[in-house]
């Protein structure tokens, strides 16, 4: 083709300065954000926007926890809800259809402790996410302490586990049904996973 449009055709920015091939991290981040937006609408239609159970977790560094859980596990804080008292914070983070409260470890009033204080924890929090593989890759890239590698579990979900920086334990999974519903692949029934 040779015509009056040629000069503009040649001035296409990626011909002058070839851009990097699309950064997969950009796309997976954008996809994840997009899916959480549209899932949100789905959630509000299906079950309403407030769950009936809010686990309240204790951290010595509760703002560090909000940062960590947002950055590594992609929880989203409801900033309007954040409360501050005496330089301690109480925060709410949305996790899919659920909410967790992040508070200061405190021996006198609420008497809940961070695992890092007592050297053990008694709970694993199970979280279902959209696109577990992307979630896992993101968490690993952000330096998650993975305590169980991503795998297909016999009871029909793909999952991994990680322990956060103060020792709370998290289990992330996606059900095979949900993986198939978004066009993903799951193990064949005749090929049982380990």
Partner 1 sequence: MGDDSDAVVIAASLESPAQFGAIFDRHATVLHRYLVRRVGPDEAESMMGDVFRIAFEKRATYDLERPTARPWLYGIATNLLAKHRRTEARRLHAVARLAAHRLPPLDLADHVSGRVDAADLWPRVADAVTSLPEPERDALVLHVWEGLSYDEVADALGVPVGTVRSRLNRARVRLRELAPASGREQHENTETRDPGRIES
Site for partner 1 in 106-165 (CB under 8 A): 130
Smallest separation (angstroms) from partner 1 to the CB of 173: 16
| Residue number with CB closer to partner 1 (40 or 106) | 40
Round to whole Å and give the CA distance between 68 and 74: 9
Residue from 19, 80, 86, 108 binding partner 1 (CB under 8 A): 19
- The answer for 86, left when phi > 0, alpha when psi is -120 to 50, beta otherwise, is left
Instruction: Examine residue 185 and tell whether it contacts partner 1 (CB under 8 A).
Output: no
Round to whole Å and give the CA distance between 5 and 8: 6
Instruction: Examine residue 37 and tell whether it contacts partner 1 (CB under 8 A).
Output: yes
Judged by CB under 8 A, which stretch of 49-57, 77-85, 121-129, 179-187 contacts partner 1?
Answer: 179-187
**Pairing verdict, β 56-59 and 157-163:** unpaired
- The answer for 79, left when phi > 0, alpha when psi is -120 to 50, beta otherwise, is alpha
User: In the complex, which residues of this chain contact partner 1 (CB under 8 A)?
Assistant: 2-19, 22, 26-27, 30-31, 33-35, 37-39, 41-42, 130, 181-183
């Amino acid at each position: 083709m040779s015509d009056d449009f040629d000069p503009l055709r040649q001035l296409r920015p990626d011909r002058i300065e070839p851009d990097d091939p699309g950064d997969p991290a950009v796309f997976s981040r954008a996809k994840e954000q997009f899916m959480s937006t549209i899932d949100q609408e789905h959630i509000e239609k299906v079950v309403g926007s407030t769950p009936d159970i809010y686990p309240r977790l204790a951290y010595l560094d509760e703002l560090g926890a909000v940062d960590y859980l947002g950055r590594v596990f992609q929880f989203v804080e409801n900033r309007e809800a954040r409360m501050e008292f005496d330089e301690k914070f109480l925060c709410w983070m949305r996790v899919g259809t659920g909410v967790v409260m992040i508070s200061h470890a405190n021996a006198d009033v609420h008497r809940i402790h961070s695992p890092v204080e007592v050297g053990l924890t008694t709970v694993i929090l199970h979280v279902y996410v959209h696109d577990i593989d992307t979630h896992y890759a993101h968490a690993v890239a952000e330096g998650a302490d993975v305590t169980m590698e991503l795998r297909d579990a016999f009871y029909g979900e793909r999952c991994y586990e990680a322990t956060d920086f103060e020792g709370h334990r998290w289990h992330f999974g996606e059900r095979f049904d949900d993986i198939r519903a978004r066009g993903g692949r799951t193990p064949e029934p005749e090929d049982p996973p380990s």
